[in-house]
Amino acid sequence: MARKRSPLLEKLTGGDRRQIGRSNDVAKAVLKKPATFADLFSGLTDPDALVRMRSADAAEKVTQTNPQLLEPHKAELLHILESTDEQEVAWHVSVMAPRITLTKRDRKHVRNRLESLS
């Protein structure tokens, strides 16, 4: 059974890959209500590629202001960076990675992954 998408993530559906859709609106909403960041972050693993891409875009924008929101999601963020084959998601996640506390080993993995993307 497919998971029900939240109203926040529903705002990120539709259109095509050339559009960021309503990711700016979603980022602003999450900045006003940081407790919804976990919901936004869950969009990085949504079944819909557009939602994943736009969630990554919005999460990157939110964490420019509130990087501490990423810490509870560190393991998943690093897993997404390591495993995604979607260039847009990888770009956004790679910008967010330095915003979390990284061990020396984590930094090496991030660096290797970024080198593989170029």
Residues sharing a CB contact under 8 Å with residue 21, sequence separation 6 or more, in sequence order: 11, 12, 13, 14, 15, 50, 54
Specify the pLDDT at position 113: 85
Structure tokens at 17: 């890959």
> Mean pLDDT in each 10-residue stretch from start to end of the chain (118 residues)?
82 86 94 98 96 97 97 96 91 93 92 83
